[in-house]
Amino acid sequence: MLQRFFIFCSGADTEILKTCSNGEQNKYAGIGATVFFTAVMAFIASGYALYTVFDNIYTSIFFGFIWGLLIFNLDRYIVSTIKKKDNFKSELLQAAPRIILAIIIAVVISKPLEMKIFEKEINQVLLEEKNSMTLNNKEQLALQYTPKIQSLNQDIANLKGEIATKEAETNALYDTYISEAEGTAGTGLLGKGPVYKEKRDKHDAALAELNTLKETNAVKIAGIEAQITALETDYNTAVTNSQPIIDGFDGLMARINALGKLPWFPSFFIFLLFLAIETAPIIAKLLAPKGEYDFKFEEQESVVATWVTQKVEQRKLLLSTDGEINEKIYTDIKNEEELYQYKKKKAEELLRLQADSFHNVQVKGL
């Protein structure tokens, strides 16, 4: 039962193969098994690749199964259409397009499994890329908000500078009127005289202005700080909203690119492994000598080709003979006097009818 299934997978003519030896049947069962297991590996590889795309196991299994059937059909077709000939170069030339197709299939099959085998290394590469993307994203977003925040901070610094300047001015007036009262500066007279009172009034006026300035600037600073807080909130929100996009950067193309950044040597040998598996049936059939099945299959094709050629030649001969017979018949008819007189009589009757009809038309026109 299993042997029959693998023979079916090989694409061989089962009716012919039944008449061959067990060794010949085992050979084609082996080729069919290679075709079958190549399709199984294609199913597994494509299923994993599609799972990284759809993130749904049922969808991945369904489309992976379709891909496996496609690979199975292609391999079966490739193996079954290679005909053994006595010239190896001719066989190789015949198989060249199929070998190229096998290489393409091997690449398609090997990549998903390479991604699974090197999954940890790929995840590490992706993590580094995500971290780099996160930093770059923050820097790019900061370019939108940092100038505004810096400008607002400068406004706060200017407002605080105004207060500091006014405080310094008020403190200087305070020192002036105190020195006047102590007699250490100004008029040099000890006590609170008119000059002291004048300087004290200037200080009190400056102090009132300072308090007013503090209140006014405090309101302005609070408003500016609220704007800064809003900008910082917007920045953090933008970073938070864009982070899921970066976290989701692990699709099929991202993983293929990450795989390309790993050392090529292990990946290349995995590719060679799948290439060997994919081309094994073709290479085996090319290297194997002509077997019993090949001779019988060639004989069957020869019988069909001979039969078709014979039918074509018979039709050509039949057509040629029929043409010669018809030519001879019409030549004999041409020489018969009775047929000639009959056709002459009918022609004369036709001419009379035409003349009478023409005469009647002319009379009606008068």
Max intra-chain CA distance, the chain: 175
| Burial of residue 32 (number of CB atoms within 10 Å: 0-12, 13-18, 19+) | buried
Contact 48, 246 (CB under 8 A): no
- Quick one: residue 186, left, alpha or beta (phi over 0 = left, psi -120 to 50 = alpha)? left
Contact 25, 17 (CB under 8 A): yes
| Start-to-end CA span in the chain (Å) | 100
Give the per-residue pLDDT at 169. 81
Contact 78, 280 (CB under 8 A): no
In single-letter form, the type of residue at position 217 comes to N
Question: Within its chain, how far is the Cα of 150 from the centroid?
Answer: 44
- Per-residue pLDDT tens listing for the chain (366 residues): 788 888 888 888 778 878 888 888 788 888 888 888 888 887 887 787 778 677 788 888 998 899 889 888 888 887 787 777 667 777 777 778 777 877 887 777 777 778 878 888 888 888 888 888 888 888 888 888 888 888 888 988 898 888 888 888 887 777 776 666 655 555 555 556 565 677 667 777 878 887 888 888 888 888 888 988 888 888 888 888 888 888 877 777 788 888 888 888 888 888 888 777 777 777 777 776 777 777 777 777 778 888 888 888 888 888 888 787 877 776 766 666 676 777 777 877 887 788 778 777 777 766
Which residues are within 8 A (CB) of 279 and not within 5 positions of it... i.e. 6 or more apart? 99, 102, 103, 106
DSSP, res 83: P
